[in-house]
Structure 1
Amino acid sequence: MSIIIDHTAHTFTLHTAHTTYQMKVDELGVLLHTYYGPRTDGGDLSQLIYHFDRGFSGNPYGKGKTEKGYSLDVLPQEYSCFGAGDYRITALRVRQADGSRACDLRFADAAVSRGKYALPGLPAVHTDAPDAETLTITLRDPATGLEVVLLYGVLPELDVITRAAVITNGGTAPVVLEKAASLSLDWQYDTFDWVTFHGRHTMERNFQRMPLQHGVQSIGSVRGTSSHHYNPFAILCDPAATETSGLCYGVSFVYSGEFLMEAEKDQIGQTRLVCGIHPDDFAWPLEPGESFTTPETVLTCSGEGFGLLSRHLHTLTREHICRGPWVHKRRPVLLNNWEGTYFGFAGDKLVAMAKQAADLGVELFVLDDGWFGKRDDDNSGLGDWFPNEKKLGCSLGELARRIRQTGLAFGLWFEPEAVSEDSDLYRAHPDWAVQIPGRRPNLSRNQLVLDLSRTEVQDYLIERLCALTQEAGLTYIKWDMNRSICDKYSAALDAAHQGQFSHKFLLGLYRVLETLHQRFPDLLIEGCSGGGGRFDLGMLYYTPQIWCSDNSDAVARLDIQYGTSFGYPCSAMGAHVSAVPNHQTGRVTPLETRACVAMAGTFGYELDPDKLTETDKSEIRAQIARFHQYYDLLQYGDYYRLRAPVTGCSVWEVAAPDGSEALVTAVYKTVEANAGLVRVQIQGLTPDARYTVTLLQHEGTDQPHPEFLRPVTLTGRELALAGMVVPPARRDYQAWQLHITRC
């Protein structure tokens, strides 16, 4: 068993293949956190908790007269509460009926069950693994009857532990939850670096590492989405940790809305991490007997650096977050018309693009914005999800039929959560828009947000999306969301319940997506929010891939995809080859380089085939054939970051899980005169096996010095220790791919 309850020592120990997580109930019923890290023998590690009087750290009444060193303010706790003597950041803050905010949870019960828990209405890790287990611990506030059930899911082979909580008002008076985090986790003795992933629209998830200082450091979002600006994923690590060594803890929030992740180094150097829904927009009333379920948080621990941590999360995401046939089914190479035409298209132009795309080997044509309502720019039409037959020159069903006659499947772009003021939907239902009565709303992209906390709004979207999917025989949907949410107010909620809006909005979004998932199980949905503004495990539960960024420039994507790879697999990253000069940066990069970078994602094209030269077309045919040839390796291989983009030459590797082969991609940012050679150490191979390293020669690209054209044969151990040399660049932005095969 992976979960062990020792009734004598009052400990709860969770073992995975390589890690241990332990808690203990002390003599006052406080649930202490004793350990999380590399696997131990399971002994009672509360022996390492010492009580000293810290001064101005008060003592619970039951201890204050006899043991002044015992204080909630310094004890490592499993689920910390505000107002009862712990002055650090806390997981739970409750406003009682009398206006007080104190809560003091004590142990009540515990149970173990086979399988991993689910969270109704919320995305969560799923598994049918026979060794998965759930630990349920019930805590209760004796003074008020408030009850918190802590849920722990254990996936032993992946070294993953999940956390969530169900909070129930077991008292006789109403209460209001003002903060209800999913996770609180304490470390007593470790010194950490704090790794987060910041960004902005078109430059998301930049790697940032700094020492964790005394005080509170935090990342979060109050934008209605997880945001471009801070991803809901962070790492605490040993200051000496690297890609291949050092202790690392990864924390990922399975939620697509407003979040707060806080890390505090307290007065005596202890570290606390709290993760959950952002409390600024949150106030959840609970009548007696009512419950609230928090979203899930995923924890994983690696004793072998960032690389192993990432591979744990990649496997978890592919196999136990994403669902449906597209988890393992080969996804089609697509052509999206957006950067090829923007709003300026007609049906005949789209069919002509599809014909040319089919000739190149593309398998799916995606019609982006502008096909519906009065929608020739971004000032009108959102919400009116009815095809503009005048613009298309035919019905949507007829256009889909014409596209399919070219040999391509057909997909559509939607932005279901938005509404234009200039739309029939807004004119009919102005109360469906998120805006505060008596205030002029803040506009972004000249649009408002639909109130998805309302069932009737959800029902409208379900009806329209399902009808269009059926009419056009869609196999793919791109689901976009192009603004942050403010002016938060729902006409369907009274004043006492407005603090529920942001979370209810997400629950409504999840209901619409889940309905599509159930009614059209073979439909591939790609998430998008101005690119990577909602790139999180919550969305990946419904959409197995997400458009990584609206910035399609290959050089910019090196940094974006590098940062994203720490928490998410290549198979989740929407990535396309676009035209040059690039529409976001104006940069001109070789077609081959654009393809190499896009192959580190789901792979597709976003351009007008009519503007390609015959040489371009020949290269694209070869690129698509190569992507098909190495598809399993690129999408499901073990991923290794060999050199960061900041080095000037970004190098990454995907290796077959059985060690039979690997593909190494290197992209230079700039060429240097008389440059030194770039050496990388190859990982994931069988040490004693012999391998041949072959440079893949790409059509239409400059060839390297002849010395690099000869195959090299070395053992896996030699490639790991001595490494191999990447051919130098002959021009800016040059890319190489090297295939390593077992002899």
Structure 2
Amino acid sequence: MLISYFEENKIFHLKAKDTSYIIQIVESKYLQHIYWGKKIRNFKLDYLKPFKGDQLNGFMFAKDNINGFSLDILPQEYPSFGNTDLRSPVYQTQFEDGSTISDLQYLSHEIFSGKKKLKGLPSTYVEKNEEAQTLEITLKDELSGLLVVLSYTVYKDYDVITRSSKIINSSSKDLKVLRALSASVDFSDDNFDLLQLSGAWSRERSIIKRALVSGNQSIESRRGASSPQQNPFIALMRKDADEDKGEVYGINLVYSGNFLANVEVCQYGTTRVQIGINPFDFSWLLKPGEDFQTPEVVMVYSDSGLGKMSQTFHNLYRKRLCRGNYRDKERPILINNWEATYFDFTEESIKNIAREAKKLGIELFVLDDGWFGNRNDDTTSLGDWYVNKEKLPNGLKKLSKDINEIGLKFGLWFEPEMVSQNSNLYRAHPDWCIHVKGRERSLGRNQLVLDFSRTVVCDAIIEMLSENLSTYNISYVKWDMNRFMSEVGSATLDANRQRETAHRYMLGLYRVMEELTTKFPEVLFESCASGGGRFDPGMLYYMPQTWTSDDTDAIERLKIQYGTSLVYPSITMGAHVSAVPNHQVHRITPLETRGNVAMGGNFGYELDVIKMTDEEKQTVKKQISDYKEIRHIVQFGDFYRLISPFENNDAAWMFISENKEDVVVSYFKKLAECNIKLKVLKFKGLDPEMNYRVIGTDEVYGGDELMYAGMVIPELKGDFTSYVWRLKKTL
């Protein structure tokens, strides 16, 4: 049994692969969090309660007038505010009388095999019921009729517990949800560092670590998307934890909109961690009988540092979050024309690039922005998803056919969530954008956000994209999103529901993606939001890969891809070789290094191959050939971080196939150094009892030797250099 309930002491014991999570019903009413960590057999853990009754001081409230019992010191599973717990609540509702106090108490529970889908939301899943068990605990506030169902799923083969909650109005009166976070976990101490992935456009997901202090520390997005500034992920690390050792608690929200991740250290040094939809500018009106479903939270415990945590996320997301025909397929090597041509291209120039790309071994051509409407710059035509006949006089049907005859698959760029004021769509429907009546409509990248909270807008987008995908032979879609939300409001929501706009937008977007990806299962969809501005589990549920960053500089990408790998598998990361000087930072890096960095994800090119020298083309041809040989290892193998670019002048990572037979190790040097000592790189994850041969040589090393003694790094001359080892298990 993955989940057990023991009536004598009212304890729920959830057992994942190597993780235990324990909850107890106390005073026959309240849910106490007992334990989350390494799997244990014993479940009689009353001694873990942090306080005894005589430790209460005169400023604590006795709950239910029970002497020595206060919610303000109880580690809770779903804490409210306003009774005797004065810490951060996980939820809050407002009733018709204006009060915001509720008192949820245990009502019932159910344990069943498998895992339910979440209504209208992405989530992890099972293919067979035996893969997981789910616990649903129902809580009730007797006075108001408020019900909350807490859902916990435990996976048999992963150190993963997922959580979500459903708020139900079972009364005869309206109520308003003011706060609806998905999960809350109380720890009995504060001996942690907080790790987060933060940054900005073109430098997404930098690793930031800081010590917890008394009070609240949080990350959040209020931009209408998960954002490049903050990722919906945090981890608590024990002070001695690092990449390979120590306890780490990773928490990731399966959601693509506004979120809050908050850590509160209370007066007694306990720690409360919460994550969910950002309560800022949010509320949700529930009519009698209606319910509100919160997004899922994926919780991963590791007893062996960040590396084990990452591999758990990677395996789960690759196998039980990403879906569709491409989940288990090798992804194609592509070339995108954006940095080669921007808006300035013709039908013939596109085909010329495709012809040269085919000679080099590339498999997919992607036509980026500028193919539609009157789109010759970024001031016009978003929303007008019909062919620009001035650029493509023979249309997309002919172009896609010609590209296919050259020997490449054909892909196309869309930005379906946006509209230009200078467009036929906007002129016909000026109220279809996110806006507040009478307020100025601020432009970002000369565009506005379509109101996906409205069914009519979603239906129109589904129809327009379906027509394109049905008419042309499209194998790949790059789904871009280049503007966050401002003046957030919807023309069709009444005053009591305006603060629902941002979340209704996400529900509409998820519906559009669900319908399109279901209708066109043969299309590989890649998510993009000015690069990595929406790199989150919610998007990966519909689109199994994401453009990692608009910053294509190889040296910048070391940090971006390294940070992204903390949570997200390499198969989900789009990584391309671009021209030099780089268009974002104007750095000149060797083509070899650019290729080696990009081979750490889904490999491709973003440049004009026609302008390359013959020598460069030969290098590209070899890169493509090499990647085809290692593609299955990179996309489906285990990933290990070896040297962090955040603390060092160099970086290294490695991939190893699931059977531990094939290995790829990549080392990168940023700036050249003089008169340095011999450097050794220690590998990870090898079979210590087996030998490995360095491909292309007669050198054979023991797996134990490579992991414990290491491999000497060759001397690399010049700035921005790299070296790659390929190894194979041998007798």
TM-score, normalisation: structure 2: 0.98
Are the counterparts in 2 of residues 389 and 396 from structure 1 also a CA contact under 8 Å?
no
Q: Give the match for residue 60 of structure 2.
A: 57
Alignment-derived partner of residue 723 in structure 1: 710
2: CA distance between counterparts of 1:620 and 1:45? Answer: 61
Partner Cα distance (1:623, 1:587) in 2: 21
Deviation string for 1:372-430 (max 9, x for gaps)? 01111111111111111121121111111111111111111000000011111001000
Structure 2 counterparts to residues 335-414 of structure 1, below 5 A: 335-414=335-414
Cα offset, 1:89, TM superposition: 1.3
* Alignment of structure 1 residues 239-318 onto 2, 5 Å: 239-318=239-318
Partner of 2:6 in structure 1? 6
Cα deviation, 1:327-350, whole Å, max 9, x if unaligned, reads 111111000000000000111111
CA distance in 2, matches of 1:370, 1:257: 27
1:738 aligns to 2:730 (yes or no): no
- Inter-partner Cα distance in structure 2 for 1:134 and 1:678: 49
In structure 1, how many angstroms separate the alpha carbons of the residues matched to 2:635 and 2:112?
A: 34
In 2 relative to 1, CA 199–623 (structure 1 residues): closer, same or farther, beyond 3 Å?
A: same
The residue that corresponds to 1:424 in the other structure is: 424
Consecutive unaligned residues in structure 1, runs of 5 or more: 697-709
* Shift, 1:676, TM fit: 2.0
Cα pair 1:183 1:274 within 8 Å, conserved: yes
Q: How does 1:31-50 map to 2 (within 5 A)?
A: 31-49=31-49, 50=51
**Residue equivalent to 1:74:** 73
Q: What is the DSSP-based 3-state SS (H/G/I as helix, E as strand, rest coil) of the residue aligned with 1:41?
A: coil
Measured in 2, the distance between the counterparts of 1:334 and 1:17 equals 38
Deviations 1:533-588 (A, max 9, x none): 00000000001000000000000000000100000011011110000000000000
| Distance in 2 separating the partners of 1:57 and 1:717 | 57
Matched with 2:320 is: 320
Change (3 A) 1:58 1:362: same
In 1: Cα distance, 2:678 partner to 2:435 partner: 58
Partners in 1 of 2:716 and 2:60 — Cα distance? 61
1:649: which partner in 2? 650
2-side partners of 1:131 and 1:405: how far apart?
Answer: 44
The answer to whether the 8 Å contact 1:185/1:274 transfers is yes
The 3 A distance-change label for structure 1 pair 331 and 628 is same
Find the residue that maps to 1:279 and give its secondary structure: coil
Counterpart mapping for 1:448-487 below 5 A: 448-487=448-487
Q: Determine helix, strand or coil for the equivalent of 1:285.
A: strand
Partners of 2:37 and 2:503 lie apart in 1 by 32
Report the residue type matching 1:86 in the other structure. D
Task: Show CA shifts across 1:241-285 (max 9, x none).
Answer: 011100001101000000000011111011111100000121001
Deviations 1:586-638 (A, max 9, x none): 00001110111101110100001111111111111111111010111111111
What SS does structure 2 have at the residue aligned with 1:123? coil
Amino acid at match of 1:202: S
Aligned to 2:171: 171
Q: For 1:357, what is the secondary structure of its paired residue? A: helix
The Cα shift of 1:28 comes to 4.4
What are the equivalent positions in structure 2 for 1:7-26 lying under 5 Å apart?
Answer: 7-26=7-26
Partner of 1:514: 514
Question: Is the CA contact (8 Å cut-off) linking 1:657 and 1:684 kept in structure 2?
Answer: no
| Matching residue of 2:693 | 692
Identify unmatched segments of 5+ residues in structure 2.
none
Answering whether residue 533 of structure 2 is matched by residue 530 of structure 1, we say no
Structure 1 residue matching 2:390: 3-state secondary structure: helix
Aligned counterpart, 1:706? none
Q: Which amino acid aligns with 2:90?
A: A
Query: Equivalents in 1 of 2:565, 2:656: separation in Å?
Result: 15
Equivalents in 1 of 2:221, 2:189: separation in Å? 30
Residues 1:187 and 2:187 aligned together: yes
Give the equivalent residue in structure 2 for 1:707: none
- Bigger shift: 657-666 or 417-426? 657-666
Q: Aligned runs of 1:113-262 on 2, under 5 Å? A: 113-129=112-128, 130-189=130-189, 191-262=191-262
Instruction: Tell me the distance in 2 between the aligned counterparts of 1:54 and 1:394.
Output: 81
Q: 1:122-148: per-residue Cα shift (whole Å, max 9, x none)? A: 100011242311111001112211000
User: How many residues end up aligned between the 2 structures?
Assistant: 725
Partner of 1:699: none
Q: CA deviation at 1:45?
A: 1.8
Q: Provide the rounded CA distance (Å) in 1 between the counterparts of 2:350 and 2:419.
A: 25
> SS at 1:505's partner residue?
helix
Alpha-carbon distance, 1:82 to partner? 1.9
SS in 2 for 1:110: strand
AA partner of residue 650 (structure 2): C
Within 1, Cα distance between the matches of 2:660 and 2:383?
A: 50
2:82 matched residue in structure 1: 83
Give the CA RMSD over aligned residues.
Answer: 1.1
Residue 691 of structure 1 aligns to which amino acid in structure 2? Y
Structure 1 residue matching 2:285: 3-state secondary structure = strand
Distance in structure 1 (CA, Å) of the matches to 2:57 and 2:32: 18
Q: Aligned partner of 1:93: which letter?
A: Q
After superposition, the C-alpha distances for 1:505-542 in whole angstroms (9 at most, x for unaligned) are 00110111101111111110000000000000000000
Q: Distance in 2 between matches of 1:501 and 1:676?
A: 59
1:55, CA displacement in angstroms?
4.1
Give the Å deviation of 1:677: 2.6
Matched-pair contact (CA < 8 Å) for 1:346–1:393: no
User: Match for residue 591 of structure 1?
Assistant: 591
Q: Which amino acid aligns with 2:114?
A: G
Q: Are the equivalent residues in 1 in contact too, given 2:177–2:284 (CA < 8 A)?
A: yes
Q: Secondary structure of the residue that 1:647 maps to in structure 2? A: coil
Aligned to 1:602: 602
Contact kept in structure 1, 2:181 and 2:274, CA below 8 Å: yes
For 2:63, give the aligned amino acid: P
Aligned AA (1:120): K
1:162 touches 1:296 (CA, 8 Å); kept in 2? yes
The DSSP-based 3-state class of the residue aligned with 2:143 is: coil
Q: Are the counterparts in 2 of residues 117 and 153 from structure 1 also a CA contact under 8 Å?
A: no
CA contact (8 A) 2:669 2:719 kept: yes
One-letter amino acid matched to 2:600: A
1:111 partner letter: E
SS of structure 2 residue aligned to 1:575: strand
CA contact (8 A) 1:24 1:46 kept: no
Aligned equivalents of 2:145, 2:711: Cα separation in 1: 64
Question: Bigger shift: 346-355 or 712-721?
Answer: 712-721
Q: Is the 8 A contact 1:661 1:685 kept in 2?
A: no
Q: Take 1:60 and 1:120, find their aligned partners in 2: how far apart are those partners?
A: 35
Alignment partner of 2:700 out of 702, 706, 713: 713
AA at the equivalent of 1:492: T
Tell me: CA distance 1:711–1:652, structure 2 relative to 1, closer, same or farther (3 Å). Answer: farther
Contact kept, 8 Å, 2:330 with 2:635, in 1: the verdict is no
CA deviation string 1:655-683 (max 9, x = no partner):
12222131100011011111223322211
Question: Residues 693-743 of structure 1, C-alpha deviation per residue, up to 9 Å, x if partnerless?
Answer: 35x7xxxxxxxxxxxxx6543221222111112212211111100112222
SS, match of residue 532 in structure 1: coil
CA distance in structure 2 between the aligned counterparts of 1:162 and 1:121, rounded to whole angstroms: 17
Deviation at 1:56, TM superposition (A): 2.4
Q: What is the rounded CA distance, in whole Å, between the counterparts of 1:656 and 1:410 in structure 2? A: 30
Distance 1:273 1:425 in 2: 44
Separation in structure 2 between the aligned mates of residue 301 and residue 190 of structure 1, nearest angstrom: 17
1:401 & 1:505 partners in 2: Cα distance?
Answer: 36
Q: Quote the residue 1:700 is aligned against.
A: none
